[in-house]
Structure 1
């Protein structure tokens, strides 16, 4: 009898450990750090009052399939994740901006904490006339990504860089980076505020 109870308890312990490990792996995994994303600004303390994202900058994970699917309008920068809604708040247009050169080559960089099999990385930019005082919507973005980097299911390195030509833009804009995972239903989202 004692042996059966011990076996059951050990089994429950293994099951519990497996569930914790499985649910832990669903936690965040990567974010854009060049051009600096909103979550990076929060993690480094450049921007204050960011809530939980300051401790989990790699956790902006939401449904994939953007722009046809994915997070709802107004919740894109947080990946539709309510725990990180501070990333969707326009802050009166006061998010720090990275200075970029219109039409020039630029290297984007991501820090990858968990190296998922990857479908692609895509970069979208806001249309001319974008209002940084409002939460980001699909209507704010150009319909096609200006840079698409297919990965074919390969797992990325701990640091990933992509070089591409920036669109012809002027003034303040937002670049949305989307890291689409090949073997889950999710993607990671990163909003970077920029000025041309």
Structure 2
């Protein structure tokens, strides 16, 4: 082996760990959205509605706990907040099951469902880790007609939550 080749190999071996440590960590592959009835994220993903980059990342609507926005406070997903975008509305009954698809599972405090500022349901997981899918049966009580449901998945070990909006007609 030539002296220059050996030196290059030694230098490469010495520098590689430094480069690896200084590179930015990849973004988390994010985490979950409601696919049934079809949420706004799901409608973007499946091409029902024309959307920006949320169509490639329906699971990525993560923001601080306590928000009431469909986009989780993320400007790059602002399409989700546009109530005039042509979202398909699902006809549902007073009792409706909402199904989440989870691409990364986190220990969970609660799952919450809101219509406007009214919390209509909360499911307490007490810090448990959910499976790859989660279903909740929500009772809307006396609420009827065209509504936007905000579903929130509150993570147990971070100050973050995942947000998903679903347009429904409650019959």
TM-score range, shorter chain: 0.7 to 0.9
Q: Which moved more, 1:76-85 or 1:3-12?
A: 3-12
Give the structure with the higher percent strand.
Answer: 2
Q: Give the 4+ runs in structure 1 shifted more than 2 A.
A: 2-8
Unaligned runs of 5+ in 2: 1-6
Alignment deviations for residues 24-43 of structure 1 (CA, whole Å, 9 cap, x no partner): 22x42100112221000000
| Structure 2 residue aligned with 1:24 | 27
Question: 1: distance between equivalents of 2:21 and 2:142?
Answer: 54
Which structure: larger Rg?
Answer: 2
* C-alpha separation in 1, matches of 2:37 and 2:158: 26
Query: What is the distance in 2 between the residues matched to 1:44 and 1:161?
Result: 20
The aligned counterpart of 1:108 is: 98
- Which residue is equivalent to 2:4? none
Separation in 1, partners of 2:127, 2:14: 39
Rounded Cα–Cα distance in structure 2 between residues aligned with 1:170 and 1:181: 30
3-state SS, counterpart of residue 142 of structure 2: coil
Deviates more, 1:83-92 or 1:162-171: 162-171
Shift of the alpha carbon at 1:4? 7.2
CA distance in 2, matches of 1:35, 1:125: 15
Q: 1:119 aligns with which of 109, 134, 144?
A: 109
TM-score normalised according to structure 2 size: 0.86
Secondary structure, counterpart of 1:79 in structure 2 = coil
**1:79 lines up with 2:69 in the alignment:** no
Cα offset, 1:16, TM superposition: 4.5
Count how many residue pairs are aligned between Structure 1 and Structure 2: 164
